[in-house]
Amino acid sequence: MNVLLVLIPVSIVLGGLGLCAFLWTVRSGQYDDAAGTSARILLDDDGPDEG
């Protein structure tokens, strides 16, 4: 069962990474315009002005 001592911290750190990534998306306002974000994927022009 000693493998648990490695696996548990690893799984918690991995989960924590996912949590941090989610917190980043929240803070950078990626949920502010849900309708727009889902529509923008259909936009074709990859011009330099497209953000």
Partner 1 sequence: MTTLSACPACAAAPLAESVVQREIATADVILSLPTIHCAACIGTVERSLRTMPGVEDARVNLSLKRVSVRTRTLTDAALVARLQAAGYEAHPMDSAVLDNGKDPEGQRLLVKLAVAGFAMMNVMLFSVAIWSGAADSTRDLFHMISAAISLPAVLFCGQPFFASAWSALRVRRLNMDVPISLAILLAAGMSFYEVLNGGLHSYFDAALSLTFFLLVGRYLDHRSRRTARSAARDLAALEVHSAHKLVQGSTQTVPVSDLRVGDVVMIPTGVRVPVDGTLISLEATTDRAFLTGETAAIRSVMGNPVQAGEINLGAPFKVQATAVGADTTLRRVAAMVEMAENSRNSYTALADRAAAIYAPAVHLLALLAFLGWAVLGGDLRQALNVAVAVLIITCPCALGLAVPAVSTAAIARLYAKGFLVKSGTALERLAEVDMALFDKTGTLTVPASKAVRDLLTPAQQAVARALAQSSTHPVSRAVLAALPAGEAATLSNVIEVPGRGVQGLGPDGLAQLGDGGWLGADFDGPGLRIGCAPAIALPLSEHLRDGAQAAIDGLRDMGLRPGIISGDRAAVVTPLADALGVTDHQAGVTATAKHDQLQALADGGHRVMMVGDGLNDAAALAAAHASVAPSSALDAARNAADIVILNDSLADLPLLIKVARATTRLSKQNFAIAALYNCIAVPVALAGLATPLLAAIAMSVSSLTVLANAMRIRRVR
Q: Which residues of the shown chain bind partner 1 in the complex (CB under 8 A)?
A: 1, 4, 8, 11-13, 15-24, 26-29, 31-36, 39-45, 49, 51
Name residues whose C-beta falls within 8 Å of residue 43's C-beta, 6 or more positions apart in sequence. 50
Q: Which amino acid would we find at residue 26?
A: V
Minimum gap (Å) between residue 28 Cβ and partner 1: 4
Minimum gap (Å) between residue 22 Cβ and partner 1: 5
User: Alpha helix (H) ranges present in the chain?
Assistant: 3-27, 34-40
Minimum gap (Å) between residue 18 Cβ and partner 1: 7
